[in-house]
Structure 1
Amino acid sequence: MPKTILKNATAVNENTIFETDVLLNGDVIERLDSNISDDNANVIDLKGNLLLPGVIDDQVHFREPGLTHKGNIASESRAALAGGITTFMEQPNTNPQTTTIEKLEEKFSIAAKDSFANYSFLFGGTNDNLEELKKLDKNACSGVKLFLGSSTGNMLVDNEVVLEKIFSNTDMVISAHCEDESTIRANMAKYQQQYGDNIPVKFHPIIRSEEACYLSSSKAIALAKKTGARLHVFHVSTGIETDLFTNTVPLEEKKITSEVCIHHLWFSDEDYKEKGTLIKWNPAVKTKTDREKLWEALLDDRIDVVATDHAPHTIGEKDNPYTKAPSGGPLVQHALQAMLQKEKEGKISLEKLVEKMCHNPAKLFDIDRRGFIKEGYYADLVQVNRDSQIEVKKDNVLYKCGWSPFEGITFDSQVMRTFVNGYLAYDNGSFGKTKNAKRLTFNR
């Protein structure tokens, strides 16, 4: 690739906003300075637009292999680029599940051919694959995923002896979906007795309740403390859970970390009336009070990361009675815009947004040279025009499933360009002809 100079950028990095030019050489950032010139470089004038590190999404479901009618690595990573996400970590509940090293490497082979964004995968822990997990090299993938409450894919780990052995036998980050299964089943039985399959979706956050989340999260944290495991709690959804996490030490020193998802920061249970099963997620979107407490914990650093839990389903699948409508929804194309909207509303600063969506995932998973605008780091970068409105409509949604929970919402910012390893992969609605993504490497 020829050199590229990005002129007149307003960069956001490591709690600082500054004016700079950026010289890209091959796949890395070679120089940050004012008035950079190079006769052999292409020049792109950013005209004062924001330049952010590429977003790192530590939790997506791209549905390949086996569920590709909903989405695949190519379609969803392409949508991610349009949303400024340059790196993703995909989850193991595909078909077949990513619960052997062989199946893990098969996914890497697909991504090497088809992915538009940098990639890694989580290895799924089950009740019966401990020996396979022990063989996994700590740098083979981004980490281990455990479903401590059942979700799409039937990967529930409910054998407590096995669970403790998993916690005791890996040095990798253990990312956990925490909902107490017995509590959920009891709640579901109560509402099915009353409504059959046609349970009103407004009861979803009562069935998959605050209690179910807290019981499971607190149990996982207690086990992590007992075993010394490195635990990351995915998609925290309740206010009460936020008190389980600390902000008294830097992220690099934390053994127990947490994440919140875009939908839990944006929607509340009041939105079920309009959106119905389109905002049915596990864990459930809960109350306005829960949402506010999640924001408080995000801003005071008890919550470390913002992610999407992007999990597409077709409209036909969503348009079913409550018990048959799957949980999950597509989010990667609009996650950064949603957070930038909250920044415009004064909810979060640009510096904190970049910390939670770019810096912290890189730190938490020990990713090599990504998540920052620094000399010598990979040139994963996003240009954002903060004064360009766009309404989310079906005809501009890029997901294979063809819909978004944000339809009808007008965002006040647009992703203009996305660079992946120095390559202009997305440019004002057009995609580059070359895939320049890389498999993530780690410093562990």
Structure 2
Amino acid sequence: MSSILIKNAQVVNESTTQVLDVYIKNGRIEKLAPQLDIQADQEINAEGLHLLPGLIDDQVHFREPGLTYKANIFTESRAAVAGGTTSFMEMPNTVPNTLTQKLLQDKYDIGQDTSLANYSFFMGAANDNIDEVLKTNPRDVCGVKVFMGSSTGNMLVDNETALENIFRNSPTLIATHCEDEATIKANLATYKDKYGDAITIDMHPLIRSAEACYLSSSKAVELAKKNNTRLHILHISTGRETMLFDNTIPLEQKRITAEACVHHLWFSDEDYKTKGNYIKWNPAVKTSTDRDQILKAVLDGHIDVIATDHAPHTIEEKEQSYLQAPSGGPLVQHALIALLDMVHQGKLTLEQLVQKTAHNTARCFQIEQRGFIREGYWADLVLVDLNKPYQVTRQNILSKCGWSPFENHTFTSTIEHTIVSGNLAYSNGQILEVGSGHRLLFNR
């Protein structure tokens, strides 16, 4: 493993920004200092660049196994490192669903062989697999995923006894998708009665409504409080939900935490007019008021982390009618530069961005020696040029699906280099390493 010396970087870390040199050896940050005179196999001149901890994305769908015509772990981890995301946690609604320890291990084997980024995979919960859930090892598995809303295959957990068992007995963190299925079904029936098959995308946030989200999220919080569960609610999409969470205690003491996603911080229901099904997600993108309230909750600590819910589908699938088009879209390649645009717009600071995309994710999941720029920690780093524009085009999209909701948008900033576990994985527009990612470990 080669050593790397980064010179004169503006290092953004733990609420400060300062010019430092960083020496990386054997995969880890060996030395941080204002000036280092050390010989290294490779030297990067970071004059004028900002060095951030690599993003840790706690919610992605990389589609392998079973749905690899949309994406796979190699292609999407490649897009991730090109976007400055150095670690990801992937969801179990693949085909087959990840509902046994054997199927979970199969995904870890694929990650070990092909992932450019550091990886972890959620164990899936269903109405009838509590015995398998209980075997999950908290040390090397990020968590247990519970869909309290519709999902692929057998993954909707709607049996009250099963929910109680999972919340009471899960050996590790539970991450939930919260939308009330009965409310959505009733809303959809109402719209079908009125419009038949002519339902349009602008009705999506009315069908998958704010009420459906709040009912399910509040139920999850109630179950967690009752059972002292370590609960993490994913992709909060309404302002009302943000008040379910506590911002008066340190993150390490929280038993209930929450995540916001880039698309709920960027888009609003006004964007359905131009983006159509390309911004069809579950939970739905809602009003600009919801968007603003989610950002406020991120900044004031009601919401703890920012992630993507990266979930590719093909262009052909997305260009179907509203009722046929699947929900989800690719985001890992452009999440960081989208957030950097928000920094330029004065909506958050660089230090807040780093806190919510790296520090807090590491704290929330108790990730071992990652998420910070510290001596002795793994070198998961991204160098960005804040003032070098980057336009998203069909030609530079790396996700296998070949499209992006940001297509033709010009961002203010550019990702210059990404280092994963001490390996230079992406540099000046080129992927350099294959299989450089490591399995994440957790201090539990």
TM-score by length of 2: 0.99
Tell me what 2:216 maps to. 216
1:182 equivalent to 2:186? Answer: no
Shift of 1:151: 2.8
How far apart, in 1, do the equivalents of 2:2 and 2:87 lie?
23
Shift of 1:154: 4.8
Shift of 1:140: 3.4
Deviates more, 1:97-106 or 1:187-196: 187-196
1:22 equivalent to 2:22? Answer: yes
Tell me what 2:411 maps to. 411
Q: Deviations over 1:254-293 (max 9, x none)?
A: 0000000000000000000111111000000000000010
RMSD: 0.9
Q: Is the CA contact (8 Å cut-off) linking 1:151 and 1:282 kept in structure 2?
A: no
CA gap 1:153/1:9 in 2 versus in 1, 3 angstroms: farther
Shift of 1:194: 1.9
Question: What one-letter code is carried by the residue in structure 2 that aligns with 1:365?
Answer: F
Tell me what 1:113 maps to. 113
Tell me what 1:329 maps to. 329
Q: Is the CA contact (8 Å cut-off) linking 1:204 and 1:280 kept in structure 2?
A: yes
Q: Is the CA contact (8 Å cut-off) linking 1:115 and 1:437 kept in structure 2?
A: yes
Q: Deviations over 1:296-353 (max 9, x none)?
A: 1010010000000000000100111111110000000000000000000000010010
Tell me what 2:86 maps to. 86
Tell me what 2:266 maps to. 266
Tell me what 1:439 maps to. 439
CA gap 1:268/1:40 in 2 versus in 1, 3 angstroms: closer
Shift of 1:43: 1.6
TM-score by length of 1: 0.99
Tell me what 1:3 maps to. 3
SS of the counterpart of 2:122?
Answer: strand
SS of the counterpart of 1:312?
Answer: coil
Question: What one-letter code is carried by the residue in structure 2 that aligns with 1:34?
Answer: P
Q: Deviations over 1:149-172 (max 9, x none)?
A: 103445110001110110111231
Question: What one-letter code is carried by the residue in structure 2 that aligns with 1:405?
Answer: P
Shift of 1:394: 0.7
Tell me what 2:319 maps to. 319
CA gap 1:159/1:22 in 2 versus in 1, 3 angstroms: same
Question: What one-letter code is carried by the residue in structure 2 that aligns with 1:415?
Answer: I
Question: What one-letter code is carried by the residue in structure 2 that aligns with 1:53?
Answer: P
- The equivalences for 1:64-75 within 5 A come to 64-75=64-75
Q: Deviations over 1:83-142 (max 9, x none)?
A: 000000000000011110000000000010010000000001000000111122222310
How far apart, in 1, do the equivalents of 2:389 and 2:14 lie?
27
Moved over 4 A (4+): none
Q: Is the CA contact (8 Å cut-off) linking 1:367 and 1:440 kept in structure 2?
A: yes
How far apart, in 1, do the equivalents of 2:367 and 2:153 lie?
27
Shift of 1:41: 4.1
Shift of 1:196: 2.1
Q: Is the CA contact (8 Å cut-off) linking 1:234 and 1:258 kept in structure 2?
A: yes
Q: Is the CA contact (8 Å cut-off) linking 2:124 and 2:146 kept in structure 1?
A: yes
SS of the counterpart of 1:415?
Answer: strand
Tell me what 1:35 maps to. 35
Q: Is the CA contact (8 Å cut-off) linking 2:392 and 2:406 kept in structure 1?
A: yes
How far apart, in 2, do the equivalents of 1:291 and 1:433 lie?
37
Tell me what 1:289 maps to. 289
SS of the counterpart of 1:405?
Answer: coil
Identity rate of aligned residues, in percent?
57
Question: What one-letter code is carried by the residue in structure 2 that aligns with 1:318?
Answer: K
SS of the counterpart of 2:121?
Answer: strand
How far apart, in 1, do the equivalents of 2:322 and 2:153 lie?
18
Q: Deviations over 1:200-232 (max 9, x none)?
A: 110000000010000000000000000000000
Question: What one-letter code is carried by the residue in structure 1 that aligns with 2:159?
Answer: N
Tell me what 2:357 maps to. 357
Shift of 1:48: 2.7
Unaligned runs of 5+ in 1: none
Deviates more, 1:317-326 or 1:49-58: 317-326
- The equivalences for 1:390-429 within 5 A come to 390-429=390-429
Question: What one-letter code is carried by the residue in structure 2 that aligns with 1:236?
Answer: I
How far apart, in 2, do the equivalents of 1:40 and 1:107 lie?
35
Question: What one-letter code is carried by the residue in structure 2 that aligns with 1:307?
Answer: A
Q: Is the CA contact (8 Å cut-off) linking 2:257 and 2:304 kept in structure 1?
A: yes
Aligned residues: 444
Q: Is the CA contact (8 Å cut-off) linking 2:97 and 2:154 kept in structure 1?
A: no
Unaligned runs of 5+ in 2: none
Question: What one-letter code is carried by the residue in structure 2 that aligns with 1:192?
Answer: K
Question: What one-letter code is carried by the residue in structure 1 that aligns with 2:302?
Answer: R
Question: What one-letter code is carried by the residue in structure 1 that aligns with 2:231?
Answer: L
SS of the counterpart of 1:310?
Answer: coil
How far apart, in 2, do the equivalents of 1:151 and 1:269 lie?
23
Q: Is the CA contact (8 Å cut-off) linking 1:425 and 1:435 kept in structure 2?
A: no
Question: What one-letter code is carried by the residue in structure 2 that aligns with 1:344?
Answer: H
Tell me what 1:255 maps to. 255
How far apart, in 1, do the equivalents of 2:135 and 2:152 lie?
26
Question: What one-letter code is carried by the residue in structure 1 that aligns with 2:172?
Answer: M
Q: Deviations over 1:235-261 (max 9, x none)?
A: 000000011011000100000000000
Question: What one-letter code is carried by the residue in structure 2 that aligns with 1:239?
Answer: G
SS of the counterpart of 1:271?
Answer: helix
How far apart, in 2, do the equivalents of 1:362 and 1:374 lie?
13
SS of the counterpart of 2:65?
Answer: coil
